[in-house]
Amino acid sequence: MLLATTRSALVHVALTARDLAIFETLTQVRFLTATAIEWLHFPDRRPVWEADMQARLKSAAHPPYRVGRVVHRRLHLLAAAGYLSRMVRPTAIRKHTWGGREPDLLSLTEDGALALAATTDDAHMAVESYRVRERSSSVTQHTAEIGEVYAALRVKIATMPGMAMEDWRSDHMTARSYDHLTVVRQRAGGMERVSLPVVPDGTFVLVHPHGRLRVFIEVDRGTRRLETWREKIEAYHAYAGSAELRARYQTDTFVLLTIAPTVAQQQRLMNATAAVLGGASSHYLFTLRAAVHPLRIGGEWQKITAVNRAVVAAGFQRQATEKVSATTSRHVFLQ
């Protein structure tokens, strides 16, 4: 069910600097939950969600976390005034919220975009709204998860001296224009040349004391065939050091952050990645959906430290097949 608000003559809101900052964030990512907005724009609420996560990590008794009333009231008012649209989602399908609803999603309306545009003299600032329409629930969920990754990373990076997030591009931006790489690979005993796209779910530049690092993000939902993931990694592997990467992003290297829904799926993705890379790498990092939180997203990553190959009998005819697995170790991406 979708609920789109329109500007009401009965509701007038004096917009604050925080309201406009929320609008600007919603030009960067199409959807955000109230939780993500609280992380980003209500710093006085930080002690509450920090205490909640720390208690959960220690399995300590603690009152259940809820978004603050002041946050809900302000977002409700902005939606009632027509600046935000609220998408009400159906019954939750994720295990940890089974029996309830997925959190509502908020997006910027045309009125919200116009209000933001009226406050800036920067002719190069991209300000756009997102038209609410019927969409696949899986596509909506994927977009929402990209937004949460953005929020968790941005809040984490903001706490780190000398570091910043720049040039964020979400999936609706990267899908507009992207590169194709020609990959030569072995299939069915022969070699083939294929053209593969590089379309990240998100990307940004991590500014740090020693320079700048291009970061790509992939949010996996556990629904893709592993063969398509392998092709994605083949494209990224060919992208490193390419003329296409230099032309589009002015860099020769990058780090790919992959978020997986479960431990089992994370291992499958790491194994498939290891098969393509053929060796250890700290440029391809993996974490779980549960770690998408400002307190956890910096340090809970896995990197491939070794690639293991074994020949096993598989299939009805017990044919010899090479099985590739990855040995991994914990990696801290943001200290």
Same domain for 151 and 297, yes or no, is: yes
HSE-up of residue 240 (Cα within 13 Å, Cβ side) = 16
Same domain for 259 and 191, yes or no, is: yes
Same domain for 99 and 245, yes or no, is: no
Q: Where residue 45 sits, what CATH number does that domain have?
A: 1.10.10
Contact assessment for residue 223 and residue 263, using Cβ atoms and an 8 Å cutoff: no
Instruction: Give per-residue pLDDT as tens, 267-312.
Output: 999 999 999 999 999 999 999 999 999 999 999 999 999 999 987 7
Last residue of a domain, one of 108, 134, 160: 134
Same domain for 194 and 330, yes or no, is: yes
Same domain for 153 and 274, yes or no, is: yes
Pairwise CA distance, residues 289 & 286, whole Å: 10
Question: Cα-Cα-Cα-Cα dihedral of 43, 148, 98, 57, to 10°?
Answer: -60
State the average pLDDT over residues 30-36: 96
Pairwise CA distance, residues 114 & 127, whole Å: 8
Q: What is the DSSP letter of 201?
A: S
Same domain for 111 and 240, yes or no, is: no
3-state secondary structure 92-103: CCCHHHCCCECC
Q: Is residue 126 scored above 80 in pLDDT? A: no
Q: What is the pLDDT of residue 96?
A: 44
Q: Is residue 6 scored above 50 in pLDDT? A: no
Is residue 98 very low, low, confident or very high in pLDDT (cuts 50, 70, 90)? very low
Instruction: Give per-residue pLDDT as tens, 44-77.
Output: 999 999 999 999 999 988 888 899 999 999 999 9
* Placement of tokens 């009152």 in the chain: 63
In terms of DSSP bridges, do strands 255-260 and 211-219 run parallel, antiparallel, or are they unpaired? parallel
Last residue of a domain, one of 90, 117, 134: 134
Report the number of distinct structural domains present in the chain.
2
Same domain for 179 and 259, yes or no, is: yes
Same domain for 101 and 230, yes or no, is: no
Q: What is the pLDDT of residue 185?
A: 83
Last residue of a domain, one of 134, 149, 168: 134
Same domain for 147 and 113, yes or no, is: no
Range of the domain at 218: 138-335
Same domain for 123 and 142, yes or no, is: no
117: left (phi over 0), alpha (psi -120 to 50) or beta: alpha
Q: Is residue 207 scored above 90 in pLDDT? A: yes
Same domain for 53 and 122, yes or no, is: yes
Q: What are phi and psi of 97, to 5 degrees?
A: -125, 15
Same domain for 62 and 128, yes or no, is: yes
